Amino acid sequence: MPTVKKKLALLKSKNEHIQLSGGIDRIDTQHSLGKLTARERLQLLYDQGFYDELYRFAEHQSHAFGLDKRDLPADGVVTGLGAIGGRLAYASSQDFMVMGGSVGGTHAWKICEIMDMALKAGAPYISINDSGGARIQEGVDSLRGYGRIFYYNTLLSGVVPQIAIIAGPCAGGAAYSPALMDFIIMVKDTGQMFIAGPEVIKAATGEIISAEELGGAAAQASQSGNVHFIAANDQEAIHIAHTLLSYLPANNTEDPPSLPTDSLLMIEDEALNYVVPDDSREPYDMYDILRSVFDSGSLFEVHSHYAKNIICSFARINGRVAGIVANQPIEKFGAIDIDASDKASRFVRFCNAFNIPLVSFVDVPGFLPGVEQEFGGIIRHGAKMLFSFSAATVPKISIVVRKAYGGAYLAMCAKSLGADRVVAWPTAEIAVMGAEGAVGVLYKNEIKAAADPKEKRKELIKEYREEFSTPYAAASKGLVDSVIEPKQTRGYLSVALESLRNKRDLRPQKKHGLIPL
């Protein structure tokens, strides 16, 4: 019978062995690739580098293909819990040094256990991905494991925030777990995700493309829109996760964390009165407005590389968190296309799920016209914005800055979609369509019959603009609460948000609505 000393020594040696994971050489290789190890990543993620590791001694149960002779410490994934910014969070971190971080039955079970704990504790879940995918030797056990991971991702969805960091390969079906989560942060150069890799694509379609071009951060952030944030390295990826979490509540029953402020700060920025150019066809940078209105340094943009014609960003006003959806006139004149619709709808639904008030800044000439857009389903995709804003029950406030035309205006959350407060700047042009288009329809015959049709058209456009493309026609019918000087926007928003703090919007019970997917 071993003595206590021997038992303690055995525990120590087991712990040391697991801590070393794949061994010194593999740690060196991981570092030489610019990657941290799975445990180093968790140390960086958690306050003071401390986390409570669970199922450290778990082992795979497989005997196939000689696996019974393979020692796989912690079965290639480190799972645990700890504090991030003083708040509880759960995480899993795949260990590429152990059989390429491949996912076998035990590996998947550990991840599901930690997700189940996050769900029950009402705390965020962070998944750090660095894996060769399904552990081929474990076959259907691996497949079942992935199925369970996807199932838990879905259970957690809308209950606790889920953040995926892709810090290595994440290929094939494995990519669907991050895709089911709320935000994806990808590390440049080392992170890659795709369903079918370059070799499979070459065999199937003959297309030749490198793994980085296909699944690297640039492609996945700007082309597919799968990735929300690009990080230069593991350290930055974890820093982004920290910042993101600082805007989010722990779960759907809590409010987002506010920073303490004594009183409402009604600072007026005179420059804001002159941001919108005199010529309404001239673009300007919507950021000039957002930076002036929200707390200094508080803008935290999501999806910044994708559909740049719409801005989705977290921010604070007087310390309170808000989710901003804003048209960006310097990109496609701020028109809403398919990608912008998807990006904004997803953000709106996230904010609504986690009790984050929504603020829209509207300068939209319409949905982007074109055959490609129509055939691509702009009707279905644009409808997602109408649906998600209408369905959102959090406080909804809209600032009409300039153009607010037709269905695209409604899609930015007009009063008729349930906006609680809508205010317009004097530069606002709220109308069913732009003056050019309206005149073409209303005065087709008069223009044709005129001595100088071009001049007549110009004249009529000017008349239409003066009469209808102003905020006052809309204000006279209660479509906007008021028309304010742009410099008063921060004060207006502060009061509006404060007055809506206890908003209740109860809807009929149903299983779920049918967002046009």
Contact set with ligand HXC (CB under 6 A) = 99-100, 102, 132-136, 143, 146, 169, 172-174
Distance in Å, CB of 134 to ligand HXC, minimum: 4
Q: How many CB atoms lie within 10 A of CB 210?
A: 10
Please tell me the distance from the alpha carbon of residue 68 to that of residue 301, in angstroms, as a whole number.
48
Which residue of the set 58, 315, 408, 431 is catalytic?
A: 408
Name the nearest CA neighbour of 51 among 40, 61, 59, 65. Answer: 40
CB of 349 to ligand HXC, least distance (A): 25
Continuous segment of H or E residues that includes residue 425 = none
Q: What is the DSSP letter of 71?
A: -
The CB-of-223 to ligand HXC minimum distance in angstroms stands at 21
- From the list 122, 172, 406, 418, the catalytic residue is 172
Query: Given the structure tokens 């015959």, which residue do they identify?
Result: 445
CB < 8 Å & 24+ apart, contacts of 263-268: 264/318, 264/491, 264/494, 264/495, 264/498, 265/318, 265/490, 265/494, 266/490, 266/491, 266/494, 267/490, 267/491, 268/487, 268/488, 268/490, 268/491
Which neighbouring-strand residues pair with 404?
364, 430
Minimum distance of ligand HXC from residue 104's CB (angstroms):
8
> What are the backbone dihedrals phi and psi of residue 212, each rounded to the nearest 5 degrees, phi first?
-70, -45
Nearer to ligand HXC, 192 or 470 (CB): 192
Which is the catalytic residue, given 76, 145, 168, 407?
407
Clarify whether 173 is annotated catalytic. yes
Residues in contact with 147: Cβ distance below 8 Å, sequence separation at least 6, in sequence order: none
- Supply angle C-alpha 471, 476, 478, rounded to 5: 90
Question: Which residue, 132 or 257, is less far from ligand HXC as judged by CB?
Answer: 132
When CB distances to ligand HXC are compared, the closest residue is: 132
Q: Cβ of residue 185: shortest distance to ligand HXC, in angstroms? A: 20
Is 122 catalytic? The answer is: no
434 three-state secondary structure = coil
- 99 or 411: CB nearest ligand HXC: 99
Least distance from C-beta 162 to ligand HXC, angstroms? Answer: 18
Q: How far is the CB of 437 from ligand HXC (least distance, A)?
A: 48
Q: Among residues 100 and 161, whose Cβ is nearest to ligand HXC?
A: 100
Residues forming beta bridges with residue 163, ordered by sequence position: 126, 183
Pairing state of beta strands 192-194 and 183-187? unpaired
Nearer to ligand HXC, 136 or 515 (CB): 136
Q: Which of 173, 197, 440, 491 is catalytic?
A: 173
Please, is 278 exposed, middle or buried when counting C-beta atoms within 10 Å of its C-beta (0-12, 13-18, 19+)?
exposed
Compare residues 98 and 412 and give the one whose CB is closer to ligand HXC.
98
Residue closer to ligand HXC (CB basis): 146 or 347: 146
Decide: 301 and 313 in contact? Cβ < 8 Å.
yes
Calpha distance 490→494 (Å, rounded): 6
Per the annotation, the verdict on 85 as an active-site residue is no
Active site residue 179: no
How near is the Cβ of 55 to ligand HXC at its closest, in Å?
A: 20
Cα separation of 55 and 103, whole Å?
A: 15
Q: Which is nearer to ligand HXC, 173 or 437 (CB)?
A: 173
Total Cβ atoms within 10 A of residue 107: 30
First to last CA, the chain: 64
Catalytic sites, residue numbers: 172-173, 407-408
